[in-house]
Amino acid sequence: MNPLDAIDRKIINVLQAGFPICQRPYAEAAAQFGIDEGELIRRLRRLLQDGALSRFGPMYHAEELGGALTLAAMEVAPSDFERVSKIVNGFPEVAHNYERAHVLNMWFVLATERPERIPVVIDEIEQASGCRVYNMPKQEEFFVGLRFVL
């Protein structure tokens, strides 16, 4: 991974708070950093490629768009974790998955266009993986506003 320079750090710090919505958002954002839009795009691509950023894009609130979200967990044998992870990640409804040091060692978020798709996708993952999926829908929502300042 390439070391982050002052502009990279500023890009990460500033764009976590939002991205312009306008005719030329990259140009407007780039102006904050004293670079042009092409340079901003090149830097974002490099940050993603190097793994400094895991994603760059909008965050949608599925429920406000008529969809649904749920947290799910599975107990996966350590020797089978990679195979099951590939299966789970192969579903477009899976936002991400991660390993935890717990009997339920694989956790992931499902986001569907319609609420009734949640149990269908869970069943499809169970059939494809051979592992039970534990659905853990939220009971209450909190806004944390998490930011990582570099």
To the nearest 10°, report the CA torsion of 119, 146, 82, 104: -60
Active-site entry in 9, 24, 96, 100: 96
In which order are the strands placed within the sheet that holds 106-112?
A: 94-99, 106-112, 68-74, 133-136
* In contact, 101 and 130? CB cutoff 8 Å: no
CA gap 123, 131 in Å, rounded: 10
Asked if 96 is an active-site residue, the reply is yes
* Catalytically annotated residues: 96
